[in-house]
Structure formats: structure tokens, C-alpha cells
Structure 1
């Protein structure tokens, strides 16, 4: 079984300023090295552009993080589970995983990223600012030393990573079940076969009415991921295994895959 996670948009910089910089070939799926280099080079150039805020579609308050992208090549790194600290990761609480559970996490949990495509929770990465919905076009890349040539600009990252991830990630997945906890923007980067994908949905129910609250949905997916990684005995492997585990915390409804629609697991609070 694999668990697909989104990143957190905000990142917590490494606490050790002397930590080594990112080694792209040390990351999960090292065959993505060229694709990662292409995106990183383009991001560095865009982040120094006078229109960087508009090009990266961010608010003014995060511009210091955007400017810090210019130092990605030399920036210190930390395990991804320390860099990503949003609602989902707070609920997952990776710091409380035992060494054995963290080892399981390093093999089973994959975090999708506009910059790196996909990494494990234990891959060492720098803090960065880049969403999957961004388009890194040729107009944002320079032609100075280290610049990404215009013909290599990745363009829309969702499409770029969909093409780059298709073969290596399909090979990694094989016939395993994928528990998909991603948001739609990160889901476009790779979609496993519907019959081996379990989409996790979260609803709050009041007076018989259900609604999706983004904060609570992220929290629920983080809790479920933590439950899967901490499961005692045989590791969950099937749709029914995951639903049974989830039923210990939520009221659940399981809908089987049909056509192009994956299995659906609804967590109801």
C-alpha cells in the first residue's frame, strides 16, 4: 500500500543552517533528476523577476519566501516531514512515529510537490514556495549563468509532472493499493488506475446536512495517514482494511470504483 499526500503550502525552514543542500539524485525516484533540475532552475529565475508575485500566484506576505527561492541550490535541508508543517502534517504528527513506523512512512507515504514532483517523508529537502497550479513559462526565465533555457521551461507544472511521473511512478505503484489524500491540484500530477485507488473524503454532518470544510478535511486525512502508519499487526493492504481501520475513529461509507471513478472512502464527523 502507498499513501499519496499533498504538501503544505507553507514550509518551516530547517533549524540547522549548516545542514547540507539538496542532492536531487538522493530523492525518491532519482530518475526524475533532470525534471527536478529543470523546475528548480526555472523557479530560481522566476523568483527574482519583478513580476514574481503574479507569476507564482502568491500573496504579498509570502514574498520573503519567494525571494528565498533564489538560494535553493545552497539552502539547508531537513527531512520532508519537518519541512511540511501544515494542518495535515500536524494531525499526522510524524515526530511521534517510532523508528519502525518512520521507516514504514519512508516507504509508503509519498508527498507530491510542484518543485520535486514527489518525495518520501524522509527525503531531505529545503523550504520553498511553489504550488502545483503554477505555470513556469519561458518569459520568467533568464539567460544568465544557471538559467533554464527557454525551450526547457516546464510550463504548467501539473502537466509537466504528469508526463515526468507517468512511467517511474507507475512502476513503483505496481499492483499496490493507493490511498489518495491529495487535493485536486496535486491529484492531476498522477492518477493511478481507479480500481486500485481509494480516494479519501471528509465531511462534517450537522442536522443531516453534510459539507466539506477544508481545514477539517486536511486534519482527517492526516489522522488517517497516522493511523495507517501506526497500525499494529499486519499492515493494511486492501480497501476493506483501510475502511475497517478508519471506522475506529469515524463513521465511514465505502463506495466501490466504477468506470474511471476510484473507490471512495467517506469519513463522516
Structure 2
């Protein structure tokens, strides 16, 4: 099973690992695209106005450009510790005991605009690049990632639980993946899409899927794990799950 998480715009600073070594990252077939993006992004950082424009940042966020300038030299940290924010607060991998943390590192992966896909233990630096960014001379990230990332994700043995947001889902389609959405329901039974806070519920689901000793084999197993974790979840067709929360 693979639980595919969205990344976060915010990243934890620093790290205790050696500088980035692409040869030590998982999924080596992604290395050529990773290298192209890293070289382009770090070179672009020499031109701060161009970087801010390409990344959709304001002048107050110039520190993000400085991070990109140091991609090859900055300290690294395991991916599940690098990403921060609402989903990762709910996932809270730091509190998982040894066996559960090992399962999290094995079962969870993060969709990344820069690295394509990173496993929990992959050591990466802090960076800024979003799925919607367009780097000069390279075209869209979707055009770069789809040809190499879709075969990787399509070859996963077992179910893929897709928790990605729309922009990251566009980087690679995964036929047959278990898509998860979050809806709020008011006292009258009216349901609406949850935006920002859907991340917390996805984080809780990812945590539950990391904790369970027996690896889920299909959508029914995932549904059972979610319910046992206290989530209100409904099945939607052959490949969908809906988490329902109170408005």
C-alpha cells in the first residue's frame, strides 16, 4: 500500500543530515527530472525578482528564494519531518512509536513538485516550488513529471490512497487509486467541500493507515481502518472515499 500525501508550502528549517545527494533518494528513475529542476531552481535564485515571479511570491517572502539558492549545500532532513502544516500536525509522525514510525516511512510518501515523489526517510533540504509554478525554459511541471512519474505510481504493488490536492494530482494520474475527499455536513444534512481544514482529517487518516499492523489490501480495508480510527467515512463508487465532518 502507498498513502500519497500532498506536500506543504511551508517547510521546517535546518536539518541534521548531509547536503542533498540525489543518488541516495528513493525512486532513482526520477533522478534526471529532479536534477534538471534543482539546477534550474537554484540558478534562478540568482535573480530574485524573476524567482519571486516564477514562484508566485511577494517581496516579503524573499527568504524562500534564499533557500532555493542553497539547495545543494543546505542540511537535509527526512521528508516526513521536513514538511509542516495542518496535515503534518495531525499526522504527527514524531509521536509514533518505533514500529509504527517504521510503517509510516514504508507506507507514506509525499508528492513533490521538485522531487516528484519522496519516501518518509528521503533526506531533502527546505525548498520552495509549487505544482502550479512554471520555471523559465522548462514549461509546465505537469509536462515534465507525467511521463516519468505515472509509470512509477502505476507500478505500486497494492492500493494507492491518494490524498493529494488537485494541482499535485495533475502531475501524475493513478488509475484505480483510492481518492479521498472531505465534506462538512450541517445540522440540516447539507454538505459542502472543506478547503483548508480538510488537511487535518487527511492527516488523521494517514496516521491511522500507518499505525495499523496489517497492511490494508483494498478499499474496504482502508474504510475499516478509517472507521476504527473514529473517522466518519463513506464509500463513493469503486475508488472513492468521503470523510464527513460536522460543519
Query: Normalising to structure 2: TM-score of the pair?
Result: 0.93
Stretches of structure 2 that go unaligned for 5 or more consecutive residues are none
C-alpha root-mean-square deviation of aligned residues, in Å?
1.5
CA offsets per residue over residues 206-239 of structure 1, 9 Å max, x none?
Answer: 122212232221000000000010114x222210
Stretches of structure 1 that go unaligned for 5 or more consecutive residues are 139-153, 258-262
Partner of 1:9: 9
Structure 1: distance between partners of 2:41 and 2:24: 20
Partner of 2:202: 221
Which deviates the most, 89-98 or 59-68?
Answer: 59-68
Residue 240, structure 1, aligned to residue 239, structure 2:
no
Instruction: Answer whether contact 1:46 1:55 (CA < 8 A) is retained.
Output: no
3-state SS of paired residue (1:53): helix
Q: How does 1:80-119 map to 2 (within 5 A)?
A: 80-119=79-118
Partner of 1:72: 71
Structure 1: distance between partners of 2:121 and 2:145: 21
Structure 1: distance between partners of 2:128 and 2:120: 18
Match of 2:161 among 162, 179, 184: 179
Structure 2: distance between partners of 1:102 and 1:14: 21
Structure 1: distance between partners of 2:58 and 2:240: 34
**Alignment length, in residue pairs?**
242
- Give every structure 1 segment of 4 or more consecutive aligned residues whose post-TM-superposition deviation is greater than 3 Å: none
CA offsets per residue over residues 103-143 of structure 1, 9 Å max, x none?
Answer: 222221110111111100111000001101111122xxxxx
Which deviates the most, 84-93 or 211-220?
Answer: 211-220
Structure 1: distance between partners of 2:54 and 2:46: 11
Partner of 1:163: 147
Match of 1:190 among 172, 175, 182: 172
Residue 57 of structure 1, CA deviation: 1.1
